[in-house]
Structure formats: C-alpha cells, structure tokens
Amino acid sequence: MLSVGTLDWRISADEMLSVDALDWRISADEMSDTDKPHYFRGHIAIRTAENVTIIDSTGSEIHRYEIPKQLRGQTFSLYQTSDETALFHGRHCSLRGRARHDLFWTDRQGKVLRSKKLTLGRPTLTDSPRFEIGLTTAIVPVPAVMTPVGILTVARQLADAEEAPDFASALAPATSEIWPVLLAVNLLGAAAAVWCYRRERQFGTARVWVVFVYLFGVPGIAGYLLHRRWPVRRPCPKCQQSVPRDREFCFSCNEPFPAPARKGTEVLV
C-alpha cells in the first residue's frame, strides 16, 4: 500500500498514447557499484501526441524528445544516440513486400537534423501485406471480421507509405492485393454455411444459423454446435425419414408420432 504523499503526477492519462519499458544501456562513466552486474538500467518511455518522455525508476524525467511531424500518428521506434540526439525509425510495407524505412535524427526540441528514406532492394515474404493478412486470417478465420479489417488495414498501410494519395484511394488497390485471402476466407464461410444448411434440414431448425455460420466461419460452427443439446434422430414410422424426436410431429410428413408401446409397468396419474 502506498502511504500519503508518495504519488506525483508526471503526465495525465488523457495525454498518454502508449507506455513501454526500456533497457537503458549504462555508460562506463555513469555506472555505479550497484549497476555493474547489470549494465542496463530500467526506464519507462511515455508517448503522447507530440512527445516521447523518458523517466527513470524514481519517476524523474531524464529525456523528452519531440516527435517529427512526419511520424505523428504512426508507429515508430526510438533510439538515443551517444550524443543524446534521437533517431526515429518509421517502417512501412509496400504492396510488393518492399519495406520502406523513414529515418529522422532530431535534437530534443524536435528539430530534424538529418533525414533519410531507405527501401529494401529485395522484397521478403513476411513483409507482404498478403502474408500478414493471410496469417491473421488463418488464426481468426471469420469472414465478417477479416474482410473489412483486412481491406482497411492494408489501405492504411498504403496511405502511410504514400503509395496512394489518401486512405479512400487506397481501398481499391488494397482489395486487389489481398483478394486471394479474402476469397479463401469467404469460401471457407460458404462451405461452413452449406454444411450448416444440410444439418438444419436434418433437424428442422431455424435457418438463421446458416447466415451466422457463414459470417463467423469456424468459430460460428463451434457456436452453432454448442448452442443447444441435439436430439436423437430416428426413422419416422410413416415416411421412414430420419427425423429428430424432440417434438410430437414428424417435421418431414407432419404426421404425429405413435405413442410408445406399453410395457405394463406404466404408472398413470
């Protein structure tokens, strides 16, 4: 439990965008006896809309770097150089799997001292948006989620990488890039829906589950199978169709099921 007076506000939660723990390498001239076995000191980086503030374990601010305007609103990595300037690294992936790296060297006031854009000459499979969306779809095979999420995610990547004038213009190329993945997940949903439809015909239950299974794919099948206790199916004496026996009438021929034969042990009330 914290005693009264031990809390000190450094930054409000409303301003925070993200918080991360850092292993700060200690130079030889500032290393204390307690630091020698570790060579690293734990710090915390707090990101706001315009700055990255680094505090130590006591809550004292030791560095504050202004984020370059080109990287605000984007994901980036931050490195501190030996002269305590900052290196901001933003990474974007193109449609062809080429990763573009935006590097900005800044001083503490956010003034860009130097900048450079690098594009890898050889595309890699794992850098391709199709691979990323395909892997995510394999983990979450849900057409209703992955179809819009996949298109919007890739469109945002293209817009951030400046391969499209704006987000709206990136929607069409994003769709054309990942259409094989979208086709695969929707075919999986369609196959699940066909299986569900055939099962619904066997049990005479609500067809709304067909739409549910199509939209939610494999998780939808699990939900469909677990949402109720399935009755036993036996041939109807009248039409000989295998039908569920959880009702008084055969849902195939609409004839009432005959009463079970008496065995002489019945108790009538």
Do 22 and 43 touch, CB atoms closer than 8 A?
yes
Q: What is the pLDDT of residue 109?
A: 75
Instruction: Please name the residue ranges forming H helices in 113-207.
Output: 129-139, 143-160, 167-203
> Which of 71, 99, 123 marks a domain boundary?
123
- Within-domain flag for 92: yes
Give the percent of the chain with pLDDT over 70.
Answer: 77
Are 21 and 100 in the same domain? yes
Q: Is 257 inside any structural domain? A: no
| SS3 at position 57 | coil
21 near 42, Cβ under 8 Å?
yes
Q: For residue 159, what are the contacts with CB-CB under 8 A and spacing of at least 6?
A: 166, 167, 169, 170
- Please check whether residue 260 lies inside any domain of the structure: no
Asked whether the predicted pLDDT for residue 170 surpasses 70, the reply is yes
**Out of 133-137, 162-166, 194-198, which region has the weakest mean confidence (pLDDT)?**
162-166
Please indicate, yes or no, if residue 111 is contained in any of the structural domains: yes
Tokens of 184: 């695969």
- Rounded mean pLDDT, 203-212: 81
The angle at the Cα of 119, spanning 103 to 102, to the nearest 5 degrees, equals 15
Residue 152 has pLDDT above 80, yes or no: yes
Q: In the structure encoding, which two tokens stand for residue 224, read together?
A: 């469909």
In eight-state DSSP terms, residue 30 is G
Residue 4 lies in a domain: no
Structural domain harbouring 221 = 128-245
Question: What is the model's pLDDT at position 37?
Answer: 47
pLDDT at 83: 76
- Kindly state the tokens that stand for 269: 């009330």
Q: Are residues 80 and 57 in the same domain?
A: yes
26 with 108, same domain: the answer is: yes
> What pLDDT is recorded for position 214?
92
**pLDDT reading at 95 higher than 50:** yes
Amino acid at 212: F
Among 95, 123, 151, give the residue marking a domain's end.
123
Do 65 and 71 meet the contact criterion of CB atoms below 8 Å apart? no
- The chain-wide mean pLDDT, for the chain, equals 78
Do 236 and 203 fall into the same domain?
Answer: yes
**166 and 113 in a common domain:** no
- Torsion angle defined by CA atoms of residues 172, 178, 182 and 185, in that order, rounded to the nearest 10 degrees: -170
d(CA 167, CA 123): 23
| Residue 62 sits in the same domain as residue 154 | no
Claim to verify: residue 102 and residue 18 sit in the same structural domain = yes
- Distances from the Cα of 33 to the Cα of 200, 212, 233, angstroms: 73, 64, 77
Q: Are residues 82 and 25 in the same domain?
A: yes
Poorest-confidence range of 73-87, 95-109, 117-131, 178-192?
A: 117-131
pLDDT at 4 over 80: no
Residues 67, 50 contacting (CB under 8 angstroms): yes
| CB of 182 closer than 8 Å to CB of 191 | no
pLDDT score recorded for residue 174 = 85
Could you tell me the pLDDT band of residue 13, with boundaries at 50, 70 and 90? Answer: low
- Co-location of 109 and 167 in the same domain: no
> Domain for residue 261, yes or no?
no
Does the pLDDT of residue 136 top 80, yes or no?
yes
Residue 269 domain-assigned (yes or no): no
Domain end marker among 88, 123, 158: 123
In a domain, 83, yes or no: yes
- Are 113 and 133 in the same domain? no
104 and 197 share one domain:
no
Alpha-carbon span 94 to 119, nearest angstrom: 10
* Contact between 95 and 120 (Cβ < 8 Å): no
Asked if 135 and 31 sit in the same domain, the reply is no
259: confidence class by pLDDT, cuts 50, 70, 90: confident
Q: Tokens for 141?
A: 């095979």
> How many structural domains is the chain composed of?
2
At residue 196, φ and ψ (nearest 5 deg) are -65, -40
Q: Yes or no: say if 22 and 42 are a contact pair by the CB < 8 Å rule.
A: yes
Q: 94, 99, 133: which is closest to 119 by C-alpha?
A: 99
More confident residue, 14 or 196: 196
Span of 65-74, 92-101, 156-165 with lowest mean pLDDT = 92-101
